Structure 1
Amino acid sequence: MNLVGVSTSIEQGFRVRGLRSATAELLMVPELGGRIISLRSLKSGREWCWHQPRPDWLWRNAAGDTFGDSPQAGIDECVPTVAACRVLERELPDHGEVWFQSWHLEAEALARQELAASLRLAITPFTFRRAIRVGEDGAFIFDYALTNGGDQPEPYLWSFHPLLTLEPGDRLELPAEVRSLRLDGGLGTAIARGDVWAYPEPFPGLRLDAGEVPGMPGGCVKGFAGPLEIGRGAIRNEQTGDRLELRWDAADVPFLGLWINRGHGGFHHLALEPCTGAPDSLLEAMESWHQYRVVPPGETVRWSISLSMT
């Protein structure tokens, strides 16, 4: 049996709940939007979750805050949009409606050694649920449900939003079908929204799979691959052998967002972002890219992702 159990600790005054398998540990702060602040290999000690290099790297946010004013640490959930936009006469906030809310874990799930919470969204008629458990193979399984409590079909985007550490020797491993990325922005020379770049080498000598972007140091880029046939993405360190892998059903979650930051804001991190549509703005996904999902009235959609560390 891989599951060791649920733990409780304190980080900067915030209560932290953890799950541990035989080889890895996950820590989350329910009060801070269910933020996952640590993914650590128990074999090598590698910490995969990025946070700012300051002692007070966690703090509360409120509705109306921009994501740039958040801790930006580790993993957030973005739903029903990533970029702020106006859809169906509603002003949808930056990075969605759940990352700044306080989550309350379900006692019944804790008894099953799962970290689960449901949230009613304030602007859209959705209820969002995430449950994290340890699978038989030792991977962390994230089970999701999104329920439309309204009487009309509701469009949405969901994106996993992990800011991950970058270390020398790290390399991206994406399915062979990923041969290009459609850009949704960035900073640096040769970056323009809507451009399509070859992957992994959009320009001679520049390797996205090595975490390189134009304009280093200081550049960043966001792009999307998909719709995909295979839901998989990984980071492997060629020097240490450490590896983090995400797997999901591409029929449910057909896109992968890729964010690489090599100095913007003074930060260096990357993100592999399984997502149900593209780009980051639900409005643009509906009106321009035509890549989004809809929940019929009164119905629930479900999906899962698997996260493993070896």
Structure 2
Amino acid sequence: MVQIRDGKHFNMDAIIMESKYLQIKILPKLGFKIASFKYISKDKELLFQPEKGSYDIPHYGAPFEKYDTSGLDEMIPTIDECVYKGRQLPDHGEVWSVPWNVEIRNNAVRGEVKLKKLPLQFHKTLAFQVDNILKIDYKVKNLENESIDFLWALHGLNVFDDGTRTLVPKEAQSILNVHENDVLGMIGKKNLFPIAKSMAEDSIDLSLLKNYKDNRSYKYYFLDQIKNGEVGLHYENENIVYVLRYDSEKIPYLGVWVTKGGFKGEYNCAIEPSTGHYDSLELAIQNEKVTRLKPYEEFCWTIYMEVKEA
């Protein structure tokens, strides 16, 4: 039986969705963030939680790293701060830092927000497809008579341990480093996946998160076209799998973020399907890997978040 009710998560008002296997907590006033995604059967929280045990309320345009970096946020129309059509787009996009209009209807939670800098309306609806799968339907609409470029990325920060392994399609065999460190090298350096060559000429299995060195952070994108939109994490110690499924024709790019103390001292990772390549809208346009909406056009896509026994 599905339940949707009002509640709290730390110091914030929350909407709680609960099925037989999943408990999900959503913060309407903080970017419609999915703050908690728990697998009830094993009491396993899959999303990284705020280390201070509370949330500060950001202002629009605030630097993302100065506030909470946990849970699952929506990145649109950019990730990195950049300029587009003479407009300064804020760090990690326009919608993570602002309250959304949210309603509960027909066993679903629906939210929408209008961007401030670009004429875009962004919609998101969450409902259980079955007891162990959360279905998230998205829609972005161009509100004006001009073509608008944007990129969207799912920014879900997951917990991990030494028994956690990333799950990506077999065709994902090469990567582009986009975050400088002494393991994968300079921004723009290409490598193989899963067995990459480190700067020290050692082989490193990037699919196993225990192999990443401490006190560093990592970000890379897969260069190969993702044909099978099914990615995730295998928590071998708990014998469970967390899976994201989506239409890879609509969401063709995939990024991976891992921090092992290198960013704010935190340990988390993110599997990030994206409509653009890569983090800056400005750069994605230069790469000709971006989503373009014609005047008054809509673009829709769906993400399925599943947890199951391995």
| Aligned pairs (5 A) from 1:70-85 | 70-85=67-82
Unaligned runs of 5+ in 1: none
Name the counterpart of 2:148: 154
Name the counterpart of 1:286: 285
Name the counterpart of 2:266: 267
- Partner amino acid for 1:298? Y
Quick one: distance in 1 between partners of 2:57 and 2:3?
27
Matching residue within 242, 245, 261 for 1:244: 242
Matching residue within 26, 34, 37 for 1:36: 34
CA contact (8 A) 1:191 1:221 kept: no
Question: Scaled by the length of structure 1, what TM-score is found?
Answer: 0.93
SS at match of 1:269: strand
Name the counterpart of 1:174: 168
Name the counterpart of 2:300: 302
Unaligned runs of 5+ in 2: none
| Aligned pairs (5 A) from 1:115-154 | 115-136=109-130, 138-154=132-148
Where does structure 1 differ by over 3 angstroms across 4 or more consecutive aligned residues? 186-190
Number of aligned residue pairs: give it.
302
CA contact (8 A) 2:19 2:131 kept: no
1:243-285 Cα shifts (integer Å, max 9, x gaps):
1100000011111111011111211110001110111001111
Deviation at 1:212, TM superposition (A): 4.8
CA contact (8 A) 1:213 1:220 kept: no
Name the counterpart of 1:276: 275
Mark the CA change 1:187 to 1:52 in structure 2 (over 3 Å): closer, same or farther.
Answer: farther
Deviation at 1:188, TM superposition (A): 3.3
SS at match of 2:284: helix
Mark the CA change 1:114 to 1:59 in structure 2 (over 3 Å): closer, same or farther.
Answer: same
Among the aligned pairs, what percent are the same residue? 24
Mark the CA change 1:170 to 1:220 in structure 2 (over 3 Å): closer, same or farther.
Answer: same
- Partner amino acid for 2:97? F
CA contact (8 A) 1:213 1:262 kept: no
SS at match of 1:286: helix
Deviation at 1:211, TM superposition (A): 1.5
Between structures 1 and 2, the one with greater strand share: 2
Quick one: distance in 1 between partners of 2:294 and 2:243?
32
1:87-125 Cα shifts (integer Å, max 9, x gaps):
11111111100000101212xxx1312111111110000
Name the counterpart of 1:101: 98
Question: Scaled by the length of structure 2, what TM-score is found?
Answer: 0.93
Quick one: distance in 2 between partners of 1:185 and 1:262?
14
